[in-house]
């Protein structure tokens, strides 16, 4: 079995490492802070002192960190993977970052004969725990085939969407659709509420028709219950919408709806909702009218 190196042991990285260990892969990890390392070592992972040291022991080096500069740091920076990678190894970045930065990193690695795939995911921490992520992969078909058994441990749907960078572009398309749909669901809820219609009945009726969506069926009931605990955090969605708008600008394409959704999420961050789940967007829409879910929830 390939030796796996894994860097970035946060909400997503930790369960992904555990699933790889469970499937029998030898996994060596490094993380910037201690708790992620301790949890993975307790589950059977080996520990290395830096991303470079992880790369030295790895056939497949996986990164699952936050944003473009973070991936640049753990792959190309001081004590980054580039200092330890060998000619036959493959780098797989599963973070959500810029497609353009992804292509730049891949070009730097290609000089060393190291192949790279971008393989961002959708499905949240629940998908990471269950090993049912949707993985959107960009890169060479032969390299994807080599890494496929590893992807099959982490996810249920593995789709090659094009050359290197295309995985990130498709992930950003996903986030554009997520933000726009959630924004629409929140507007439907405040319309029902401010018009005196029970929002639960609205969700039931609309959710069975052409207005149905994942956002409506999964987040609608949480909004009605005022459960703003994060499945997916506002700050992370804002990072993704920034990346989507940058990518759109690079492609000479306007995304007016995404810009508007991003502004509304900025208003939510401004009132302290950055660490809330994305469904907390309802708070901003409520402030634009007279609907009051809190009072209505108490009345029911």
171 phi, psi to nearest 5 deg: -60, -40
Interactions with ligand NAP, residue window 230-289 (CB under 6 A): 232, 236
The residue number with the shortest CB distance to ligand NAP is: 10
138 phi, psi to nearest 5 deg: -115, 140
Contact map string, positions 147 to 166, toward ligand NAP, x by CB under 6 A: --------------------
CA distance 222 to 176: 21
Residue 298 in tokens: 């108490």
Stretch that binds ligand NAP, among 6-14, 190-198, 220-228, 288-296 (CB under 6 A): 6-14
* Distance from the Cα of residue 53 to its chain's centroid: 26
| 26 in contact with ligand NAP (CB under 6 A) | no
| 33 in contact with ligand NAP (CB under 6 A) | yes
Least separation in angstroms between residue 25's CB and ligand NAP is: 19
Between residues 36 and 139, which has the closer beta carbon with respect to ligand NAP? 36
Q: Hey, which residues does 160 pair with through a beta bridge?
A: 137
CA distance 198 to 216: 15
Q: Hey, which residues does 62 pair with through a beta bridge?
A: 6, 92
Asked if 298 is an active-site residue, the reply is: no
In terms of Cα–Cα distance, which of 154, 89, 77 is closest to 119?
Answer: 154
Give the CA-trace dihedral at 50, 11, 169, 209, to 10 degrees. Answer: 170
| 168 in contact with ligand NAP (CB under 6 A) | no
Least separation in angstroms between residue 101's CB and ligand NAP is: 12
Q: Which residues, in sequence order, are CB contacts of 262 under 8 Å at separation 6+?
A: 179, 238, 241, 242, 245
| 11 in contact with ligand NAP (CB under 6 A) | yes
| 13 in contact with ligand NAP (CB under 6 A) | yes
Between residues 125 and 187, which has the closer beta carbon with respect to ligand NAP? 125
Between residues 188 and 243, which has the closer beta carbon with respect to ligand NAP? 243
Give the CA-trace dihedral at 214, 220, 221, 227, to 10 degrees. Answer: 110
| 170 in contact with ligand NAP (CB under 6 A) | no
Least separation in angstroms between residue 95's CB and ligand NAP is: 4
Residue of 56, 142, 156, 171 with catalytic role: 171
Q: Which of 121, 147, 192, 202 binds ligand NAP (CB under 6 A)?
A: 121
Residue 154 in tokens: 């982490």
Pairing of strands 60-63, 4-7: parallel
CA distance 110 to 108: 6
Least separation in angstroms between residue 139's CB and ligand NAP is: 18
CB 107 within 8 A of CB 20: no
| 31 in contact with ligand NAP (CB under 6 A) | yes
Number of residues that bind ligand NAP (CB under 6 A): 24
Q: Which of 8, 84, 165, 199 binds ligand NAP (CB under 6 A)?
A: 8
Between residues 73 and 194, which has the closer beta carbon with respect to ligand NAP? 73
Q: Hey, which residues does 233 pair with through a beta bridge?
A: 277
State the catalytic residues: 171
Binding residues for ligand NAP, per CB under 6 A?
Answer: 8-13, 31-33, 36, 64-66, 70, 73-74, 95-96, 121-122, 124-125, 232, 236
């Amino acid at each position: 079995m390939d030796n796996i190196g894994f860097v970035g042991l946060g909400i997503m990285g930790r369960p992904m490492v555990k699933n790889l260990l469970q499937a029998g892969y030898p996994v060596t990890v490094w993380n910037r802070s201690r708790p992620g390392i301790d949890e993975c070592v307790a589950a059977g992972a080996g520990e290395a002192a830096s991303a470079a040291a992880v790369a030295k022991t790895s056939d497949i080096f996986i990164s699952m960190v936050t944003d473009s500069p973070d991936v640049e740091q753990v792959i190309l920076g001081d004590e980054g993977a580039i200092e330890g990678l060998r000619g036959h190894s493959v780098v797989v970045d599963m973070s959500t970052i810029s497609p353009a930065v992804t292509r730049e990193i891949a070009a730097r690695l290609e000089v060393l004969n190291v192949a790279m795939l971008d393989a961002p995911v959708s499905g949240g921490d629940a998908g990471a725990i269950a090993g049912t992520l949707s993985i959107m992969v960009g890169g060479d078909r032969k390299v994807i085939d080599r890494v496929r058994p590893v992807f099959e441990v982490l996810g249920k749907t593995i789709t090659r969407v094009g050359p290197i960078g295309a995985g990130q572009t498709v992930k950003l398309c996903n986030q554009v659709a997520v933000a726009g749909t959630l924004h629409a669901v929140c507007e439907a809820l405040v319309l029902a509420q401010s018009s005196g219609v029970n929002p639960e009945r609205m969700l039931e009726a609309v959710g069975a028709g052409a207005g149905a969506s994942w956002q409506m069926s999964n987040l609608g009931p949480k909004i009605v219950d005022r459960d703003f605990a994060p499945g997916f955090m506002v700050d992370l969605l804002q990072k993704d919408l920034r990346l989507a708008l940058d990518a759109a600008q690079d492609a000479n394409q306007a995304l007016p709806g995404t810009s508007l959704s991003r502004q509304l999420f900025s208003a939510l961050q401004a009132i302290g909702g950055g660490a809330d789940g994305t469904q907390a967007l309802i708070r901003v829409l409520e402030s634009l009218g007279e609907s009051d879910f809190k009072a209505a929830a108490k009345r029911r």
